[in-house]
Structures are given as structure tokens and as C-alpha cells.
Structure 1
Amino acid sequence: MKISINRLKQYIHLTETPEEIAALLTRSGLEVEAVEEFQSVPGGLEGIVIGEVLTCEKHPDADKLSITTVDIGKETPSQIVCGASNVAAGQKVVVATVGAMLYPTEGEPFEIKKAKIRGQVSEGMICAEDEIGIGTSHAGIMVLDTDLPNGTPASEYFEISNDSILEIGLTPNRADAASHLGVARDLEALLHRPICLPETQELKIEKSGPAISVEVKDPLDCPRYAGVVVTDLKVGPSPQWLQNFLRSLDLEPINNVVDITNFILHDLGQPLHAFDAEKISDGKIIVGKLPKGTPFVTLDEKERKLSGEELMICDPNGGMCIAGIFGGKGSGVSDQTTTIFLESAYFSPDVIRKGSQFHGLKTDASFRFERGTDPNMPVFALKKAVALLQEIAGGKVSSEIIDVYPNPIPDFEIDVEYGHVDRLIGKKIEPKEVKSILESLDIQVVNETEKGFKAIVKPYRVDVTREADIIEEILRIHGFHQVELSENLRTDYLAEHPVKDLNKLQYRLTEMLAGQGYFELITNSLTKPQYAEKSGYLDPKLSVEIYNKLSEDLGVMRQTLLFSGLEVMAHNINRRQTDLKAFEFGTVYQKTAEGYKEGRRLALFHSGDRSSESWLDVSKPFAFADLYATVEKILERLNIDNAQIHVIESAPLAYGLELKLGEKVLGIVGLVDDKILKLAEVRQDVWYAELDWDLLCKKASGLKKYQEISKFPEVRRDLSLVIDKAITYEQVKSVAEKAGGKLVKRIGCFDVYQGDKIDSGKKAYALSFILQDSENTLTDKVIDKTMSKLIQAFQDQVGAVIRS
């Protein structure tokens, strides 16, 4: 579950850093697994400002370039050479100043530097929207309609959002914390600061709309059902602040109506559902169950057979929504919707849990309903949502709030004894502190005596129903860390916590590599200083020098396993042992500002031929794919499946790939540069991989993931794409995985062509796609729709031409 720090600050005054808040929440039982930084635009448009073009003249030596002077709020205007055809004097424009880092919509980030273009100085760049990552247009520079002063940061104009996001591993019992309000309530108790609840006003009917009535046939499964009619809606994009909030939680904005319901869900923890009111037959909503086997088409266009046990929201013609789980295709909000019935309900956790499990549907709404929501929240959430609909979508309230709540759910009343509090916690907690903690958690303390008291708990705290639960609440706010350990500790049961044995891990890989024909190297950690001085990619200042060196050839500790391995390659090649496969586990060393650091590495070497000449076949030299296949097997053996790859053409490699896990570099794979080979006196090509063994050990998992084999068959479809040579297979694969969704199980490339039958600068990929649905047999309609999405994505994102 993701929580926005910016949104939390709307509830409670926070002066602590996100890391301090994360530590505080973790200590109290809401484990924060990660703190991530979010920027609505990569880089936050830092160094990019609003400017005004003062003059614009043609470049004397280039027909398509202009020389402009631009006021960016400094004492003197900046001269900028611009290639856009639409640049003109008097325009307000977006200017990237010298030193700014740009993150374009497509391509790698780059830094703006002062330069000379055809002999003319250029001190910055006037930007198009795709060049700063806020859109896809490259038709020309952006011309702004604004009165903002020159030099104003562009982040203010574009409403760029910077936020810190807490990733909370929510335990099943803490349903109350599945929202920003819920987390704020815990912070109120932990920080002793009041929270500010959002204000709502009584709704006033602004315009008459369709009359909607509600009949709840099963009050046990639906104790409370509320709703309101809103008319004159204009469905469209949400404002930037709402889009930024949703994106910070990894949610994609859809339209203002749906986005508001998602906002309320994550903000207050109350799921809402919007029905197109014109699609509700006879203006009547019926909450009940439908017969077993009844077909129902959900929003994802799948027909599902009902079990007869799930709760349904219906009209007289049939089902409109699987209550609390998933909406129906026939009643959803579309771009043409102008009137909605907005539902806010409290459903029994049991009925939602069974329905979700039966249909294999896990949604944000079902996540909350099946754990238990607040029965007192539906009307409050409705009022907040309607206020947003009025503000954002121009809606008008067209009915009173319908609130069917025949049997209000009472608060929990729990008797607590101070003696039990002290015994279970392991130390004496003063009654005054007990009361303060509980009241800060919205738990009322009444009937106080010397022996104990009665606690009144609101029903949204579904996990606090017993005396032991009350004591747990006291302890987690008081602080586990404040309970002193006794001198004698004992336990009746010790859980098994398997510890990674790094020696066994290394031995397992050694066996695997030896089984594939590799020889293991053990080389000296001392090496020549010249390697760092002349290689062009190692910093000699970081070499750890030996004071009492035996010789200059062994004068420093190695920074890489590459050169010691190349020395072994040269030794064998000089003795006509030219076909080599080797690996080494070794330590590398570097100086740091604090002293020294060392790290373990795994190096792989290929050189010569992978197969010897024989009467069966000709000899074949090693290729990149041979080495990379071994690297993939290593990652597979360690159960690491989330490595990202990037093409590199920098020393020590002539070309190759860089592997990363998140922001950390895992290693490199590729062909060693000729300059490096010459330095090590190696006279034939060497393929080399160096992996961070410490990082591999840290990320390695001994657990394999298994899943049931699908009962439904796979389908294969092939496509042939003509694309630019610069586009990598990884880019193509990434586009396919996003566009194809969960139906695309495997993607393969079975042919690559570059020749005179296609344009120069182009190449052709023949790709195979294995499609499979784990729940249904794929139909031609679904297959064709998926392939159409793939084709469109390839055309739009990588400029592919589909070959028939």
C-alpha cells in the first residue's frame, strides 16, 4: 500500500523527514518497506525556466537555424541558437539553462551545455514538450500564454509535483490503516498532534434529476447502502493535482469521475462506485443475490458465471455490479455520461471475501471491503466526493442522500484491567498514560476504577474486539523499544530463520559453471599500476598502493578482475591454447574518502572458438549470446528475475550491456575493447562479464515460485517489424509486455534481417507471441484485439512498419 507524504500533511502537521516518519510507523506496527521519491515529471524540471524571446534572426550559416536573445530573468539576455521553425520575437517560451539535465519523453537524459553551433554561441535551449518529458509533441517549441515573470521556474507553471511515497506492508488485521486518514490517525497518537479532518457540508438539491430508489434484500450482507444522484457532469481529464496524486500511488488517471472515486478510496478508505444513472432500468437499485450460473459481463469485457453466493447490485433487468468487487460493462461511466448515481456502502467482509475468491478478482475496493471498512464512513465519503464532482466535473446535486441503514452497527465495549495490561506488556504503564494513548487512538475510556475501565471502540477498528487487542494498542503506541528486557529470557518455540550460506551459494555456482566447461581461475590480488593509469576507465587515484612493494608489477591492489584474468588468457594463448572458458570469484579494492573498501566480484571470460573443427561441423567462434546465456543462467539459479539491461559502448568494453537492479549496477557483459587487450598483450578477442557478487548474494533467493499449469491452451501469433537499427530488442520487448498485458506469456525473436531488401538504417525482427488466458479459452476476438494493441504500440512507440 502506497501513502503520499504530501497528502498526509493535509491531515497532520509534519516536520519530520519521510525516513523518520517511516521509522515511527514501522515501530508502531505499520511496517514501511520502502521510501520512494516521486516526481510527476522526471527531474522535476530543475534548471528549466520561463523566458521571453526578445529578438530572433536567421543564422548566417544555416537556413534552418535562428539566433535568438532570450530574457530568462538575469541581468543580461542569453543568446540561444534554435532550430524550431515557429520561434519568434515576443514569445513566452520554456528555456533549459546551462547545466540543466533534461529527461525527454523518449531517449536518454542529457545535460545542457554552453556550445557553439555553426560558429554562434548558444547558452541554453528553447524546448519542445517532448524534450522536457511533459508530452510527446515535437512539432515545435512550446509557446506559453502566461504573465509569469521571466526566470520563473517552469515547475511552477506546469504544476510539477514532488513527493515522498511510503510503501507500507499492511498486515491483514489493520484494515483501518488502508488509507491516508488511517495512517494519519496513527501519527496523531505517535506524535501527540491533532489531525484535521476534511470538512463537508450538507448537500442541497441544485437541480431535479432522475428518481432512484433502493431496495436492500439482504441486510446481513449489506448492512448499509447510501447513494446520491449527480447531474450535468462533464466527463473529462482530471486536474493536474489529482492526476499527480494518483500517479504517485501507481494508479493511472482515467477521467474525473473515476479518478474522484479512486481518490476517496485511497484518502478515506471508503470505496465508491459510479453508475450511469440513465442505464438504471426503472430508476430502481436492488441489492441482493442472483441465481447460480447467471452470466454477467464485467468491465474487462469478460463473461463470468455467478456462484449465487456473491452480493450483486442490480436493477429490475439484472446485475449491474458485483458488489464491492467489480463493476459491470453495461452500467459503467463513459465519456458520454452526464448523470450518475454514486454508491457508497458498507458490505459484510465475508460475502466480499467469498465473491472475490470465487471469481479470482482482487481490486482496491475488495481489498478494503473484505478486511472491514468503517460503517460510519459512507455518507461522509459521499459528501466529500460530491463536493469534488461539483468542483472538478461541474456536477449538480439532484437528490437527497439515500441512506438505507436499518440496524446501525454498535461500538465495541471491552472491559480492561490494569493488572492485565502490566502483565502482558511486561512493565507497569500508569493509568494516566493508558487513557492518553487510547483517547489519541479514538478509543473512549469510561467507567474508570482503581482496577480497570471500559473501552468504547469505534467499529472501524475491526481488529480491536478483546482486552488483549486493547493492550496491544497501548503497547505499540507506548513503544516496544521502551519495554526493558529482563535478565533471564526464554521461549517455548524458536521459529526457523534460514540464513544464506554464502560459501554454499558460491559452491553451487562453481559446480554449474564447471559443468558447462569453465575452468576456475585464482589470480593474485596485486597487479600493475599501469593498468589503472593507461586503461582509460579506472581512476589511478583510487588504487590501493602497497608501501613495501616487492616489484612495480605488483605495486597496487586490483580494482577489477579483468586484467588478472586477461593475463591468464594471454599466457594460454601464447602457448596455443586459444579456446578458453574461465571464471573467477575474487575481491577488488579501492580507496575512499573514509579509508578503503573492498567487494567480491564474479568474472567470466570467453575467447577463441566455442566448438572445434570436425568432420561434423566447422569451428564457430564465441559470440556475445554465448556469454550472456551464462549470465542469464546465473541469475536464474539465484532466482533473480528483475534485472534491467542497458546498452553501453564504454571502456572496458567495445560494446555490451550493463545490468542493473533498481539503481544499483549489477555488472557488465560484452566484448573487451582492443585498447584494453593491447595493454594486457592479448592477441585475440575476449568476451568478458563482471558481476557484483556481494549484490548477487544479497538479492539471491532460495525460494522458487511455482504456479498451476493452465488448463487452457496457448496460442501463437507472429509479427515481422521493420524498425530503426538503433532500437534494441529490449525496447521492443518492453513495449510488447506493456501493450499485451497479462495475456502475453512469452515473447521471442526468431529472425533478424538487415540487407538490401529493406531501407538502409533499418532492420527487421520476426517476433513470436505466446498468448494464454489462465481462466478462459482465448477467442479470436480477444486474440485479434491483443495483436491490434501490439501493432498499434509498435507503430506509435518505436515507429515500426509491420511487414505482411
Structure 2
Amino acid sequence: MKVSLNWLRDYLDLDPAPERIGEVLTGTGLEVEGIEKVESVPGGLEGIVVGHVLTCGKHPDADRLSLTSVDIGRSEPVSIVCGAPNVAAGQHVLVATVGTTLYPTGGEPLAIKKGKIRGQVSEGMICAEDELGLGSDHDGILVLDRAYPPGTPAADVYDLETDYVYEIGLTPNRSDATNHLGVAFDLAAAMSVEEGGRIVVRKPDVSAFREGTGPAFPARVVRPEDAPRYAGLVIENLIVGDSPDWLRARLNAIGVRPINNVVDVTNYVLHELGQPLHAFDLDRIGGGEIVVEKLPEGTVFCSLDDIERKLSADDLVICDGNHQPMCIAGVFGGAGSGVTGQTTRIFLESAHFDPTTTRRSSMRHNLRTDAARIFEKGSDPNVTVYALKRAALLLAEVAGGTVTSRLLDLYPEPIRPVQVTVRYRKVSDLIGVDLGRERIHDILRTMDMDILEANERQFVVAVPTNKVDVTREVDVIEELLRVYGFNKIPEPEMITTAMVVAPYPDPNALRELVGDLLAANGFYEMMALSLGESRHYEGRQDLVAINNTSNVHLDVMRPEMLQSALDAVRHNQAFSQRDLRLFEFGRSYHLADDAYREVNHLTLTLTGRRSPESWHTAGQRNTDATYYTLKSVVELVLNRLGIDNYRTAEAPTDSYAYGLRYHKGPLELVDFGGVAGAAKERAAVKSGVFFADFNWDNLLRVLPKKPVQVTTPGKYPGVRRDLALVVADGTRFADIERLARKAGKQLLTDVNLFDVYRNDEQLGAGRKSYAVSFLFASPERTLQDKEVDKLMRGIEGVLAKQLSAEVRR
């Protein structure tokens, strides 16, 4: 948001330097992100002076050039070659001296140098209006209509205005500071504390406003909750044209393009008081009435930018008496009812619309207007009529308008200021400083808050309706602290703290441990929103719905982590980042039996190549990440946490095309595998993605009580045995491994599947062959063949009995 210092000075007497005012604003929570010096004429006419043309004659070598001698207030006149047809002796003109930079209207900056033109010395330039940036006229040089002493700076002739504009990072809760007057109240309160005394804010005077004698223009609001207050006036005898310089300067300073005097007044009041206004051409309102309503889904509306938009059934619309849309309420006007050069009568609207409805319409149609930004924060319902009167007086001043109707004000349920009881002791406890009762009252009054009653213990304050977020005692205290100044709170000489024993296991320490492990293996941490779109989870009954007025499409808390990972993959691939190793610590949210549940997760996402492209891998096959690439990382994490002896099962098929689940009894530890095609299709991801989802809460539950032990590699050689096992087609390798480890006892250190073979003619229908290796080793001695053979016979017997496995010889 842009705020003009000169505009603020219309309401306050401010002496401090612009930089100091910026510091005070930042201290109140209106963070100044930048200060820009703005001049009504670029360059401020620096180096331009009044000159008196003493002589003027023809250039000897150019018919269209003149030789002049000009008095510019120096000891000697200067010679200037001029090409203007209207230059003549005796004129008072504006001269750009040598070394000056000109900023022409619509052109590039031009540096004035001493030189020769067709052999004649020229020591400056006699300027036209457009060459000075004062207008667009280039028919001849600018001749002053009165005599000024030669050498008078041009800035004194035109009384130029220099302004400073603050770029303020306005937070969503500051509905009271969306305008210059709101900022002025904050600044006055803070400066009063800084300098002592009380600085009074001069609000615009509307006492001269008079209603017309005609009836109020007919209007009705179908659902008052959509527009709790709707007001308006009929203003006639308007002459639409350019705005005066002061009004154009105010709007230009904050980056608002002047259009015409009627529209400019509505924009001026919006940025002055924080109340959006809309002017309808009265002669273009059909049916002799205004109706505020919602139209059927798909109704066509042509907006001011000449784009046909299809309205939603949830869009609040300003219609005429024939139910034809003229404006999306609080967002954008229509092409058929706006002010034109031929407009002489208007209906001027000032309303308070429902913030949620306005926000949704603004986002739905991608119309992020200044009016919508104010309404969605919560406009002040009790400034609507005041803003109407202010605008009516300005239109009388700049456009000759006359109010001809009574004032329309539909306000069935007036919104009253919130009354908050505040304890003096609570103020001191929370702030840490005893401000004193009088100072507390003064600060609040300077912010336009009325003290309704007070006693020794507490007081009652009426909070203005423009501060929609100030509803509790602690909110009022925050307002006091914000204005008093955080930097004025003294630091304590001694800080006391309690000893805290970290729980076991310490979740934060484990997150850092695993995060460092993954980063060392080439993974990057991602952080996705905990919000999602309900359209991705149709049919689910456990969704946690939210009312998100900022991004209406993000309407649920995410019930699972996969969609966030796929969104991150799609986003990175759109920027040509195709080789991804990502991990995220996050939460999913569920609703079950009217209770809310949060689950902590660690996710891994792999896509693209296993390692960066290099000449080492050029020409090699299978350089892409695979299921087994992910499996190795999953087991690396589990091993680092000391978690073993888990069981395996198939991963859920709704998310995975294939994969495994590791679990301990009913506790699911991790699901991982290749992402199912439907999930990738939903996220518009085309490449293969491998995903692992750890249930972090369950990992902490099964974490060993003892820390992970490091052991040295065995000194004695291992003995390997291989078996070709013919088993039923539905037999899993996980079952073979489990039974083998049980039979092989502590000497069996590794079981690995290195080949799968199918052949119905040789093996029989519904049969397959697993080639499995078994590694035996002892940390204390070299194993003898006979004891390994004995273990192998035991393993073969168990597999034959439990799985009907046959050994191929």
C-alpha cells in the first residue's frame, strides 16, 4: 500500500524528516518497506532558470535557426541557438543551463551540453512546454506571461510540489489502516507519545453537505447479510472532464492513474477514508431501481474491461430494476453503466459488503481491485454515509455537481462499536511498564477510541468499527503497546528460566538427525501447505473443511501427503527441474467420530535420474531412479533409527501401482513404492514418481529404548549358499525371508532374492522359481561347512513345510 506524506499533512501538522516518520510508522506495525521521493515534474526543474531574451537574429547558415543572447542572471549574457519559430527579443523564457538534465513528456532524459550548432556556440536551451515535462505542447518555446527576474529558478515560478511516498507492507488484520486517514490516526498517536502532548487529527469537514429535495433513488437489498449497509445519492449537473492539478497530483503520487474528475473523486475518497464508492450513470440504470442480489449461475456480465464474464450463483451483483447486472458488488464495475464523457447525472453508491463474498468473487474472476482488497479485510460500515458526503462536496468543487435527492441509507441492523473492558493491572502485566491511566486514555483517544467509563481498577473503551480485529482485552492492550513502542519496553536485568528435561525420544532431535541423513544423501527439504482442494478427495468422509476466504479453492486440511508431493514435482518440472530428491516433515488431518486427529509424517519423493548427468554415466542404461533406489533410502532411515524386525505387506493400491508396507503388528511404519497412475494423472505429472510415507508418530512409538550401537565389521569370512525354490505364484519373498531368519538363528546375516523365473512347461501352472542367497557368518569364529549344511537343511525343511517349497537341483 502506498501512502503520501503530503496527503498525511492534510490531517496532521508534521515537522519530522520523512525518514523519521517512516521509522515511527514501522514502529506502529505499519512496516515501511521503502520511501520514494516523488516530484510533480520529473527532475523538479533543477537547472532550469528564467531568461530574458536580449537580442534575436537569424542564424547565418540555417534559415530555421535563430541566434539569441539571453540574460540568465549571470554577469554576462549567454549565447543560445534556438529553433523555435516564436522566439523573439524581449521575451521572458525558461532556459536549461549547461549540465542540466531534461525529462521531456513521453521522451528519454536529455543532458544539456555546451556545443556548436552550424558553427555557432550554444550555451543552453530555450525550452518548450513538453521539453520541460510540463505538458504536451511543442508548437514553440514557453513564453512566461509575467516578468520574473533573470536567474529565478523555474521551480519558484511553478511552485512545484515534492512528495515522499511510503510503501507499507500492510498485514491482513489492519483493516483500519487501508487509507490515509487511518494511517494518520496511528501516526498521531505514536507522535504524541514521542513528543508529549496530544496531536489532533483533522478529519475532513462535511458540515457543508446538504441533501437534495427529491426522493431517494429506489434501491433494495435482497439478502441484508450480503450487504449490511447500502447508501447512495443522486448528483446532477455534472461536467465530466479532467481533474484539477491537486487531485491528479495526489492520485499520481500513490500510483493511481487519473481518469476523469468523477472517477478520480471516488478513488480519492477510497484512499482517503478507506470506503470504496461507485458511480453509476443514472440515465443508464434500467427499470428505475437498483437491486442488490445474486443472479443464476452462468449469467453473462460484461465488465469495464470489455470482457464477458460468467457469474457464479455466489456472486453478489448490483442490478438495475430489470435485473440486469451493472457491477460485481465491491469488486468491479460494468461496461454498460459507468461514467462517460457525456454523463451529467449519477447515482453514487457507498456500501458495506460481506467480506467473504467479496473475497470469493474477487478471486473467482481474478479481479484484484483496490476496492476488493478493502472490502475483504472488513470495511467500516459506519463510514459509508460520511464518505458519501465527502465525495458529494468534492464533486461540487471539481465537477459542478448538485445533490438533488434525499440520502438513501439501508441499514436494518446497525453495527455498533465493540465495548471492551480493560484492567489497568492487566495492561501493566502484559506490557511490562506502568503507562499510567491518563497516558492510556490519551493514546486510545488519539486512535479515535472513546473511553466510556473508568474507575480505579478498569475502564471500558468503545472500539471503532474500522478495527474489526480488536474485540478482546488483550487486543486493546496490543494496540496500546503498538503505539507506545516495542523498543521502549526496558530489558530486564535478569532473565529466569526453568530447567526443562527433553523427553525421550526427543522429536526435534530425531527430525534433525534424519533430516541431516537425507540431506547428506542428496535430498532437499520441501515445505508444502497443510491446505488442499476437496476436489482431489471426492467421496472421503474424513475431510476437515475450512472457511478459507484468502484462497477459496484451498478448502480442506490435507488428509494425506501424496498430493502435496506430486504438486511439488509438477511445479519443479514446469521450471525444467526433472531430477528430484525431496523430503518433507508434515501433518495430515482427519475427522472421525466428531473428533479431529493430526498425524505426523516424513515423506520421500524421487523422480528422474539417480545421480546428476555426467560423462561417467553417458551411454549407461538404467540411470533413472527406481523402486529399489527408494527402498534403499527407506531402509537407510529405519536402520539409522535402529528400527528392525518389522513385517511386510502390500502397499495400498489406491496410492501405489506397486510397493510395500513395513509394519509392526497394527502399527504402520511406512508405505512406499511407485505412485499409481490415477494419482499422477490427478496432479498432471507424467513422469514416474516413487514415494515413501513414514508414519512419524508410529516410528517414535517403536523406537528402541537404547541408542543405536555401532559395531565393527566381522573379522571372519562368511559362507554363502544359494537355493532355487519352486513355490506357488502367490508366495512372497518376505515370507521366505522371515522363515529363513527364524531357522538360521543368529548365524544367518543376510537373505537376498536375486532372480525370479517363470515357465509353466517346466515348473507347472501357477508356479514360479525364486533364486535366493543366504549368507552365514559368526563374529567369533570361522564357520565349518557341516554346521552351515545343517542350518541349510533346517531352512529347506521349514520352507517345504510352511510354504510347500521345492528345491530345484
Contact 2:419 2:462 in 1 (8 A): yes
Determine whether 1:365 maps to 2:375.
no
Q: Which amino acid aligns with 1:351?
A: T
Contact 2:49 2:97 in 1 (8 A): yes
Contact 1:227 1:402 in 2 (8 A): yes
Shift of 1:369: 0.8
Matches within 5 A, 1:133-144: 133-144=133-144
In structure 2, the residue matched to 1:201 is 207
In structure 1, the residue matched to 2:104 is 104
In structure 1, the residue matched to 2:348 is 342
Q: Give the direction of change, closer, same or farther, for the CA distance of 1:117–1:360 in structure 2 (3 Å limit).
A: closer
Shift of 1:107: 5.6
Contact 1:210 1:277 in 2 (8 A): no
In structure 2, the residue matched to 1:449 is 455
Q: Give the direction of change, closer, same or farther, for the CA distance of 1:495–1:407 in structure 2 (3 Å limit).
A: farther
Note the alpha carbon deviations across 1:601-634, whole angstroms, 9 max, x for none.
xxxxxxxxxxxxxxxxxxxxxxxxxxxxxxxx9x
Note the alpha carbon deviations across 1:450-496, whole angstroms, 9 max, x for none.
32221211111112111110110111112111222333276999999
Q: Which amino acid aligns with 1:343?
A: E
Q: Distance in 2 between matches of 1:247 and 1:225?
A: 30
In structure 1, the residue matched to 2:737 is none
Secondary structure in 2 matching 1:253: coil
Shift of 1:143: 3.7
Q: Distance in 1 between matches of 2:107 and 2:311?
A: 47
In structure 2, the residue matched to 1:67 is 67
Shift of 1:88: 2.4
Determine whether 1:409 maps to 2:415.
yes
- Pick which of 282-291 and 113-122 moved more: 113-122
Note the alpha carbon deviations across 1:404-430, whole angstroms, 9 max, x for none.
222221110111122322222234332
Determine whether 1:488 maps to 2:462.
no
Shift of 1:119: 5.0
Stretches of structure 1 that go unaligned for 5 or more consecutive residues are: 499-507, 509-632, 634-708, 712-804
Matches within 5 A, 1:95-494: 95-105=95-105, 108-118=108-118, 120-146=120-146, 151-158=151-158, 160-192=160-192, 193-204=199-210, 212-317=217-322, 318-486=324-492, 487-488=494-495
Q: Distance in 1 between matches of 2:246 and 2:496?
A: 53
Q: Give the direction of change, closer, same or farther, for the CA distance of 1:182–1:211 in structure 2 (3 Å limit).
A: closer
Q: Give the direction of change, closer, same or farther, for the CA distance of 1:87–1:348 in structure 2 (3 Å limit).
A: same
Q: Give the direction of change, closer, same or farther, for the CA distance of 1:402–1:143 in structure 2 (3 Å limit).
A: same
Q: Which amino acid aligns with 2:486?
A: F
In structure 2, the residue matched to 1:9 is 9
Q: Give the direction of change, closer, same or farther, for the CA distance of 1:148–1:347 in structure 2 (3 Å limit).
A: farther
TM-score calculated relative to the size of structure 1: 0.58
Matches within 5 A, 1:688-767: none
Secondary structure in 2 matching 1:370: helix
Secondary structure in 2 matching 1:331: coil
Shift of 1:340: 1.1
Q: Give the direction of change, closer, same or farther, for the CA distance of 1:276–1:50 in structure 2 (3 Å limit).
A: farther
Contact 1:81 1:117 in 2 (8 A): yes
Contact 2:211 2:407 in 1 (8 A): no
Shift of 1:377: 1.3
Shift of 1:174: 0.6
Root-mean-square deviation (CA), in Å? 3.2
- Pick which of 217-226 and 185-194 moved more: 217-226
Q: Which amino acid aligns with 1:328?
A: G
Shift of 1:203: 3.1
Contact 1:74 1:151 in 2 (8 A): yes
Contact 2:216 2:407 in 1 (8 A): no
Q: Distance in 1 between matches of 2:231 and 2:70?
A: 58
Note the alpha carbon deviations across 1:489-518, whole angstroms, 9 max, x for none.
76999999x9xxxxxxxxx9xxxxxxxxxx
Shift of 1:135: 4.2
In structure 1, the residue matched to 2:36 is 36
Shift of 1:105: 3.9
Q: Distance in 2 between matches of 1:495 and 1:101?
A: 61
Q: Give the direction of change, closer, same or farther, for the CA distance of 1:215–1:150 in structure 2 (3 Å limit).
A: farther
Q: Distance in 1 between matches of 2:149 and 2:214?
A: 46
Q: Distance in 2 between matches of 1:293 and 1:5?
A: 45
Contact 1:210 1:283 in 2 (8 A): no
Aligned positions, number: 503
Q: Give the direction of change, closer, same or farther, for the CA distance of 1:152–1:197 in structure 2 (3 Å limit).
A: farther
Contact 1:203 1:400 in 2 (8 A): no
Q: Distance in 1 between matches of 2:464 and 2:2?
A: 25
Shift of 1:343: 0.9
Q: Distance in 2 between matches of 1:196 and 1:149?
A: 39
Q: Give the direction of change, closer, same or farther, for the CA distance of 1:336–1:223 in structure 2 (3 Å limit).
A: same
Q: Which amino acid aligns with 1:194?
A: V
Q: Which amino acid aligns with 2:419?
A: E
Matches within 5 A, 1:395-794: 395-486=401-492, 487-488=494-495
Q: Distance in 1 between matches of 2:146 and 2:233?
A: 39
Q: Give the direction of change, closer, same or farther, for the CA distance of 1:304–1:133 in structure 2 (3 Å limit).
A: same
Note the alpha carbon deviations across 1:587-610, whole angstroms, 9 max, x for none.
xxxxxxxxxxxxxxxxxxxxxxxx
Contact 1:273 1:342 in 2 (8 A): yes
Contact 2:216 2:406 in 1 (8 A): no
Contact 2:92 2:148 in 1 (8 A): no
Q: Distance in 2 between matches of 1:374 and 1:495?
A: 45
Q: Give the direction of change, closer, same or farther, for the CA distance of 1:342–1:57 in structure 2 (3 Å limit).
A: same
Q: Distance in 1 between matches of 2:228 and 2:62?
A: 75
Q: Distance in 1 between matches of 2:275 and 2:316?
A: 18
Q: Which amino acid aligns with 1:335?
A: G
Q: Distance in 2 between matches of 1:438 and 1:8?
A: 20
Q: Distance in 2 between matches of 1:146 and 1:395?
A: 34
Q: Distance in 1 between matches of 2:253 and 2:186?
A: 22
Note the alpha carbon deviations across 1:695-749, whole angstroms, 9 max, x for none.
xxxxxxxxxxxxxx999xxxxxxxxxxxxxxxxxxxxxxxxxxxxxxxxxxxxxx
Q: Give the direction of change, closer, same or farther, for the CA distance of 1:211–1:420 in structure 2 (3 Å limit).
A: closer
Q: Distance in 1 between matches of 2:45 and 2:366?
A: 42
Secondary structure in 2 matching 1:386: helix
Q: Distance in 2 between matches of 1:161 and 1:291?
A: 51
Contact 1:211 1:283 in 2 (8 A): no
Shift of 1:74: 5.7
Contact 1:175 1:372 in 2 (8 A): yes
Secondary structure in 2 matching 1:189: helix
Q: Give the direction of change, closer, same or farther, for the CA distance of 1:71–1:478 in structure 2 (3 Å limit).
A: same
Q: Distance in 1 between matches of 2:70 and 2:244?
A: 31
Structure of greater Rg: 2
Contact 2:216 2:408 in 1 (8 A): no
Q: Distance in 1 between matches of 2:159 and 2:288?
A: 41
Q: Distance in 1 between matches of 2:414 and 2:50?
A: 57
Q: Give the direction of change, closer, same or farther, for the CA distance of 1:279–1:29 in structure 2 (3 Å limit).
A: same
Secondary structure in 2 matching 1:260: helix
Stretches of structure 2 that go unaligned for 5 or more consecutive residues are: 193-198, 513-521, 523-575, 577-681, 685-809
